[in-house]
Structure 1
C-alpha cells in the first residue's frame, strides 16, 4: 500500500504534466503543518519567477499555519507576479485537497489580480 505522501505526489505529477502542455506559468503551492509556500515557475524554462511563504516576516501575522496567513501569502505572490509581468497562471495545488489553506491562498491570489 502506498503512503499518503506517495499518492499526493502521484496526483501532483499528473497535474504538472497537464500544466506543461498548457504552456503558461505555474503557481505551485506546498503546505506543511507549520507553513505554506508558493512559487511561480516560468512555463518553458522551469525557473522561479517569484516566491512567497509564511517563513518570511509578514506584518501583523498571528500564526503561520492558519487561513489568514495563507490569504496574506496569496496576496503577496499575486503582487510579486504582477511586478514580474505575469497575470495568467495555472494553479498547481501539488496534490493537496482544494480546501482550507490552499483554497484561501488561491482565492486571495485571484482577488489580488491573478487569473487562473
Structure 2
C-alpha cells in the first residue's frame, strides 16, 4: 500500500466521522467542498431532499477567465465568492460548512474565506 492510498483512506475516514454530525436542512443547507489535484468544486446541498441547490467549480468558464486563475488558491477563493453569490441569490444566507475530510488550510480555506466575503454565514 502506497503513501497516497494511506492518505486517501485517512481522508475518507475523517469524512465519514465528520458527516455523522453534519446534516444540511432546507433552512441551513450544507456547503460541501471537494478538492482534486487540479480543480475545486463546491455545492450547497439540502440533505433532507437530496438536492444540490447551488454549485460552482474551477472548471467553469467564468472562473477560468479570471486573471488569478494561474494560482489554484486564487481560483478556489473565486469559487467561494461565486458559490456565496449564487446561494444568496437563492435566498440562502446560513450554511453548514463540510470540508469533506480535507484539512482546513490552503484551497479549502480559500473557498471558505471567499464564501464568507460574499456574505454566507457559517
User: Common fold, TM-score beyond 0.5?
Assistant: yes
Structure 1 residues without counterparts, runs of 5 or longer? none
Choose from 89, 92, 98 the match for 1:83.
Answer: 89
Aligned length in residues: 115
Once residues 8 and 71 of structure 2 are traced to their aligned partners in structure 1, the CA distance between those partners, rounded to angstroms, is: 19
Structure 2 residues not aligned, in runs of 5+: none
Per-residue displacement from partner, 1:3-34 (whole Å, max 9, x unpaired)? 211111111122112112x7431000001110
* Residue 70 (1) aligns with residue 73 (2): no
Counterparts of 1:29 and 1:68 in 2: how far apart (Å)? 15
> 1:62, CA displacement in angstroms?
4.3
Secondary structure of the structure 2 residue equivalent to 1:105: helix
Q: Distance in 2 between matches of 1:64 and 1:104?
A: 15
Separation in 2, partners of 1:10, 1:85: 33
2:60 matches 1:56? yes
* TM-score normalised according to structure 1 size: 0.90
Please report how far the alpha carbon of residue 44 of structure 1 lies from its aligned counterpart in structure 2 after TM superposition: 1.2
Moved over 3 A (4+): 61-65
RMSD: 1.8
